[in-house]
Amino acid sequence: MPGEWRYFIIDGMKIEPIVLRGEHVRLEPMSPGHVDGLAAVGLEPSIWEFMVDRIIDRDGMRLFVEKALTDQAQGRSLPFVTRLAATDEIVGTSRFGNISTADRRVEIGWTWIAPERQRSAVNTEAKLLMLTHAFEIWKCIRVEFKTDALNQRSRTAIRRLGAIEEGTLRQHMITDTGRFRDSVYFSILDNEWPQIRSDLRRKLGE
């Protein structure tokens, strides 16, 4: 049932709702109670320009949350709501998805941030927290990212994390508008993580 707290232990990886805390942000498990808070900051059209989903109202946000929680209940994803640590303000969301415990692989994505909080420490620290959990708790050997080939801002942001661009899957997804989307894939490997962790910590301290 959507919103139900449960966990899976598969190949030593415990997939369960968790809270990830940083100096700037806190990532908490998504729940149905977050719909209004997400809708309050997440209906700006620019957020959804390159997303597969197109959320234009509260009902759309409710469906977005319900779908994420259904995937969580089936062990396919672990969605978070992003809050500012200092004020508790909801500023966006992200998740682990396409979890493959057998391959020790996970994707980080489905990320959006309120426009006024973009290009701040929010995304950098959120990704640092999630990457740390993936590599140091789950012992993943690979973390993936993907984005719309047309989304140059997102591609730049993923490169800035230290991820390596691997290639483009053509006509990979069909968006809500009916457009055939090409997706660009990036990855970080476990042997690359220590340097990337140091780089991200340095960026947060700048």
Query: pLDDT tens-digit profile of 124-158?
Result: 999 999 999 999 999 999 999 999 999 999 999 99
pTM for this predicted structure: 0.92
Residues 8-143, CATH architecture: 3-Layer(aba) Sandwich (3.40)
Q: Running DSSP on this structure, what letter comes out for residue 55?
A: -
Question: What does the pLDDT look like over 83-129, one tens digit per residue?
Answer: 999 999 999 999 999 999 999 999 999 999 999 888 789 999 999 99
Say if residues 145 and 179 touch (Cβ distance below 8 Å): no
Q: Running DSSP on this structure, what letter comes out for residue 65?
A: H
**In the predicted structure, residue 3 carries a pLDDT above the cut 50:** no
Give residue limits of the domains in the chain.
8-143
pLDDT (average), residues 156-178: 96
Q: List the structure tokens of 55.
A: 């959320």
CA separation for the pair 24, 22 (Å, rounded): 6
Task: Give the model's pLDDT for residue 13.
Answer: 80
